[in-house]
Amino acid sequence: MGRSRAHGGSGLGLSIVAAVTELHHAQIHLDSTLGRGTRVEIVFPRNSVGYL
């Protein structure tokens, strides 16, 4: 089970992911279904990770 604020987490996870995503000019996609979970996809542009 993931850690949330209700279970002792700091609540910073998504904020950190959003900051890193923005720094690398990437895109973040979230798809959440109640009772099933959440799918997170982060798409980085090729040039942000050293590829030409």
Tokens of 27: 């895109």
For every one of its 52 residues, what pLDDT tens digit does the chain have, with 9 covering 90 and above? 555 556 666 778 888 988 999 988 999 998 999 999 989 899 988 875 555 4
Token reading at 28? 């973040």
Distance CA 44, CA 24 (A): 7
pTM strictly above 0.95: no
